[in-house]
Amino acid sequence: MNWRKLNGSRILLPITEAVEKTIQKEQELGNKLRICVGTDSQVRGQEISFATVIVFLREGKGGFMFISHEDSRQAMSIKERMIYEVSKSVGVAYEIADILAAYNVPLEVHADINADTSFKSNVALKEAMGYILGMGYEFKAKPHAFASSACADKVV
């Protein structure tokens, strides 16, 4: 995955190193962090665009994010697309989990899935929740899943 910051600058380090250096810098500044990972997608004709974000939240001081983007031409049902989003988020969470544990930084995985059954994305709620919780991560769905439904949504 290729990563960038919101301002468009590319992150040239492996994401694990970039996350660790960022945590070190933020903690040296006295900031207490929480990290949320989420993915959103957008269907545009025959193409599906995915954006995965790592959101760094500074307690009481705002936050910032790292962004990765991917396009796919594979046809997917809504359920497949929601589970694929979750798998991308879980993959990133798994990659950075040891670093976060070493620095005592809490991690949440956000799914762009609505808990309200009247929404199409709800078809994947049970599977997504089981997948994320089964991996040992804290799970958030809409409307509490801002990393996927607000942050990733803005950059997809």
pLDDT at 155: 92
Please count the residues of the chain.
156
Q: What pTM did the predictor assign?
A: 0.94
- Residue 22 corresponds to which amino acid? T
Name residue, tokens 């989420």: 38
Element (H, E) at 80: helix 78-102
Give the tens place of pLDDT for each residue, 33-51.
999 999 999 999 999 999 9
pLDDT of 91 > 90? The answer is: yes
SS3 155: helix
Mean pLDDT of the region 1-22:
97
Name residue, tokens 């995965």: 52
18, two tokens: 């970039």
Beta bridge partner(s), residue 16: none
pLDDT at 31: 97
pLDDT at 34: 97
